[in-house]
Amino acid sequence: MTVSAPTPRAWPLLPLLFFLVVFLGSGLYYTSTDTDFAFYQIKAPVVAMAAIVLFMVMARVAGQRLNASVERLLAGMGHPNIILMCLVFLLAGAFASVSDSIGSVEATVQLGLRIIPAEWVLPALFLISAFIATAMGTSMGTIAATAPIAVGFASATGLPLPLALGAVVGGAMFGDNLSMISDTTIASTRSQGVSLKDKFRINIWIALPAAVVTVLVLIVLGEGEHQVEAKPYTFALVVPYLLVFGLALSGLNVLAVLIIGIVSAGVTGMVLMPDYTLPSMNGAIYKGFEGMFEIMLLSMLIGGLSQLMTDQGGTRWVIERIHGVTRWLKLPLQRAGEVGIALLVVFANVFVANNTVAIVLTGDMARDIATDHGVDLRRSASLLDIFSCVVQGLIPYGAQVLLACSIAAISPLALIGSIHYCWVLAVAGIVAIVVNRPRLSSSASPV
């Protein structure tokens, strides 16, 4: 069943709103009662499944055949982006588990503490993650490779764990936002019909100042006395991480990077430790898989729910409401257009929980708004990427936040307040719109 140009409707949004209210509401409630693991008392995949059932009932009342809804649900769950994300989850969990089982994480942390002063750990984590994400073009792969090291640094230095993870996620989002091979960069430039380098030139004037401010904030937050216990380590145990970082920087596919990392960590363990056998490695890999089950299932269910919502016109309804807002905003024409483009991708990203999909969904409408309001298409491409990055890094059910929280076993709400780069980038993006630099030349390099 192929669905195109659905009629805009508001009701398809209700099941996702139900999920958000229950997921966030229960977490906030249990947090207020000082319950441990507050956001894990009500399991998110169960709530997502309830939201899907609610959608099926509403769709049936609206005249949609149940079989057709199930087919579209499966299409959304099986979307290549969702499957790729799930594979990254599984392999990231396996790599973190095998590395931890042989002591690779601890060895890497000890090496890092001999190179990086304890008070510089936070900005170092941000910059390393940014560098890797720029090279890889994926924030997910960067977080998978770097988050376990952040956990180790936090444990060794006494820094709050959310701060260390927030530096990693922020750096990953910064690098992904600027990378020439990022799927968000490609989606935003293709949808607006501009070249990668033109979008980069606009983007960097907003993203780079936000990154500089973030580094300064992390330097301040990382100051103070940190008790660091120096421990002996075996350099060979660091090799799997060095290999992963090197392969990531080479631009190799993230799945290949993680698979090579798992194999190298397991082989290193078997060579250095007589009691570490193939069954030991197998057990560690499966333990990593188990740790990622909840986030993988949630991602698939949310992907399916998003597909249903999009097919029934829910996303289109939001997009058209935002488009209408730009018509009555009492702002200069170009600024009103930029506000509309930003709101478009923000609301789409909140509902689909995937920045690339949000850009694809809103790209054509954003281009129409840009044309109607005299916004340079290179700037509209930059705004799409920037504000989707902001939302993706701050929603507690987004893949990046869930992956980092799964690795560190902390609550999503405990983390999002510490992802300083995304907060600063939001301010930088708003300032860029308010300041409203003079219009750029309408001519752009071809894609």
**Alpha-helical runs (H) found in 222-277:** 239-250, 254-272
Q: How far is CA 410 from CA 40, 43, 88, 416, in A?
A: 9, 14, 19, 11
**pLDDT tens digits, 333-362:** 788 888 888 988 888 788 767 787 778 667
Angle at which helices 293-311 and 278-291 cross, to 10°: 40
Mean pLDDT confidence for 290-295:
78
User: Residue 262's Cα: distance from chain center in Å?
Assistant: 23
Buried b (16+ CB within 10 A) or exposed e, 397-421: bbbbbbbbbbbbebbbbbbbebbbb
Residue of 409, 154, 410 lying closest to 290 (CA atoms): 409
CA angle 390, 215, 179 (to 5 degrees): 50
On the question of pLDDT at 439 being above 70, the answer is: no
Average pLDDT over the chain, rounded to whole?
A: 81
pLDDT at 427: 95
Residue of 252, 249, 242, 204 lying closest to 105 (CA atoms): 242
pLDDT at 224: 57
One-letter amino acid for residue 190 of the chain = R
Diameter of the chain measured on Cα atoms? 72
Contact 344, 373 (CB under 8 A): no
pLDDT at 170: 94
Pairwise CA distance, residues 189 & 359, whole Å: 10
Give residue 4's pLDDT band: very low, low, confident or very high (50, 70, 90). low
45-49, 87-91, 226-230, 435-439: least confidently modelled range? 226-230
pLDDT at 39: 62
**Alpha-helical runs (H) found in 64-103:** 66-77, 80-102
Dihedral over Cα of 20, 24, 25, 26: its sign: positive
Dihedral over Cα of 385, 388, 392, 397: its sign: negative
Q: What is the pTM of this model?
A: 0.69
Contact 81, 254 (CB under 8 A): no
Mean pLDDT confidence for 102-121:
73
DSSP 440: P
Q: Structure tokens of 413?
A: 């709400």
Percent share of the chain, pLDDT over 90: 19
Comparison of pLDDT for 363 and 65, the residue scoring more: 65
Contact 384, 188 (CB under 8 A): yes
Q: Structure tokens of 147?
A: 């988050």
pLDDT at 286: 92
pLDDT at 430: 92
Contact 47, 23 (CB under 8 A): yes
**pLDDT tens digits, 62-99:** 888 889 989 999 998 888 877 877 887 788 778 878 88
Mean pLDDT confidence for 148-159:
82
Give residue 1's pLDDT band: very low, low, confident or very high (50, 70, 90). very low
- 7 conformational bin, left if phi > 0, alpha if psi -120 to 50, beta if neither: beta
On the question of pLDDT at 31 being above 60, the answer is: yes
Coil, helix or strand for 228?
coil
Q: How many residues does the chain have?
A: 447
pLDDT at 440: 45
Mean pLDDT confidence for 247-270:
83
pLDDT at 438: 45
Residue of 319, 389, 382 lying closest to 347 (CA atoms): 319
Comparison of pLDDT for 24 and 165, the residue scoring more: 165
Residue 186: φ, ψ to 5°: -65, -45
Coil, helix or strand for 442?
coil
Pairwise CA distance, residues 195 & 28, whole Å: 44
On the question of pLDDT at 161 being above 80, the answer is: yes
Contact 133, 174 (CB under 8 A): yes
DSSP 439: P
Q: Which helix (H) or strand (E) holds 193?
A: none
